[in-house]
């Protein structure tokens, strides 16, 4: 049995008939940060982090900074010059994904986070890269420090009509999931319309073929808590959703259904400004 996977992932791999492929791919998951991974992290202006807050809600959050704000300080340790997301306890399991739209490259690093003088550190236990499938290409126009007015952050329990519109127009979102063995942060991409807002509290999307690891779906099978992050690449507005998700298996493939419990919209949540996308050639057509 490949110890890179928890029982939920192994069960999904078995259900989908990809255990042998998953075992092969799973050999790329290591606890160490190789020089090429360290160089990639050092060049990134953003990092997505998934974690549970003190109330047990799972969130996917965006951290940004000048290149070098995320850096490897040892073969198993990363230092981040940013604060942990609000409400994240010391010593929490976290999952991170560093994604570079300019090159369609991404890597994931999961481990234990602790506050530090610089911000926080992560002691890594899983480090691996993903292929560029479903990743839209964008150019970085620059950085504009966000200045949301006092009270501009909007909290809710369901999507507003404008948030529904933006979710339906999205070509990318990030998803954080958890299980007894840790937290994982992942990317989902497709042509606009690949995410459905079925009601103001219910989202769904097809789970496109990927690397056969099924880390996200495996975690959902084990736990169900999840956090989504939608980013307006041109204005910097972030939309975070926390709730629960489940996977349905049918004749048309896998569909994930997400029920919203809490929403947080932050105007200017990201200072980064990106170009309109060049869509991935791997994106399936959407209705």
Angle, helix 19-26 to helix 7-16, in steps of 10 degrees: 130
Q: Tell me which residue has tokens 């109330």.
A: 55
Mean confidence (pLDDT) of the chain: 95
pTM of the shown model: 0.96
Q: What would the 3-class secondary structure string for 181-199 be? A: CEEEEEEEECCCCCEEEEE
| Helix, strand, or coil (residue 115) | strand
- Report how far residue 220's alpha carbon sits from residue 44's, in angstroms, rounded to the nearest whole number: 29
Q: How many CA atoms lie within 13 A of 86 on its CB side?
A: 2
Q: Write down the pLDDT at residue 143.
A: 87
Q: Write down the pLDDT at residue 151.
A: 54
Q: Write down the pLDDT at residue 68.
A: 97
The CATH code for residues 7-132+154-274 is 2.30.110.10
- Read off the pLDDT of residues 268-277 as tens digits, 9 standing for 90 and up: 999 999 999 9
Kindly list the domain boundaries of the chain, sorted by start residue.
Answer: 7-132+154-274
Q: Write down the pLDDT at residue 276.
A: 97
Q: Write down the pLDDT at residue 83.
A: 96
Q: Write down the pLDDT at residue 150.
A: 46
Q: Write down the pLDDT at residue 144.
A: 80
- Read off the pLDDT of residues 196-221 as tens digits, 9 standing for 90 and up: 999 999 999 999 999 999 999 999 99
Q: Write down the pLDDT at residue 3.
A: 66
The segments of the chain whose pLDDT lies below 70 read 1-3, 145-151
Closest CA to 25 of 132, 103, 130, 126: 130
Q: What would the 3-class secondary structure string for 245-263 be? A: EEEEEECCEEEEEEEEEEE
């Amino acid at each position: 049995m490949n110890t890179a996977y928890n029982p939920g992932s192994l069960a999904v791999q078995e259900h989908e008939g990809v255990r042998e492929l998953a075992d092969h791919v799973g050999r790329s998951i290591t606890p160490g940060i190789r020089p090429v991974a360290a160089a990639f992290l050092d060049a990134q202006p953003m990092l997505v982090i998934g974690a549970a807050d003190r109330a047990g809600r799972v969130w996917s959050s965006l951290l940004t900074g000048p290149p070098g704000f995320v850096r490897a300080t040892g073969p198993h340790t990363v230092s981040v010059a940013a604060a942990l997301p609000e409400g994240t306890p010391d010593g929490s399991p976290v999952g991170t994904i560093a994604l570079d739209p300019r090159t369609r490259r991404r890597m994931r690093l999961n481990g234990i986070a602790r506050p530090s003088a610089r911000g926080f550190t992560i002691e890594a236990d899983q480090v691996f890269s993903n292929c560029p499938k479903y990743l839209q290409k964008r150019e970085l126009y620059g950085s504009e420090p966000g200045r949301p007015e006092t009270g501009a952050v909007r909290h809710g329990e369901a999507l507003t009509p404008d948030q529904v519109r933006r979710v339906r127009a999205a070509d990318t979102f990030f998803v954080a999931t958890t299980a007894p063995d840790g937290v994982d942060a992942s990317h989902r991409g497709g042509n606009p319309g690949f995410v459905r807002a079925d009601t103001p509290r219910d989202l769904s999307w097809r789970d496109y073929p990927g690397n056969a690891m099924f880390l996200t779906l495996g975690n959902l099978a084990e736990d169900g808590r999840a956090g989504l992050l939608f980013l307006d690449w041109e204005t910097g507005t972030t939309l975070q959703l926390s709730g629960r998700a489940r996977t349905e298996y049918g004749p048309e493939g896998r569909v994930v259904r997400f029920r919203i419990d809490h929403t947080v919209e932050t105007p200017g949540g990201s200072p980064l400004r990106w170009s309109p996308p060049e869509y991935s050639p791997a994106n399936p057509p959407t209705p």
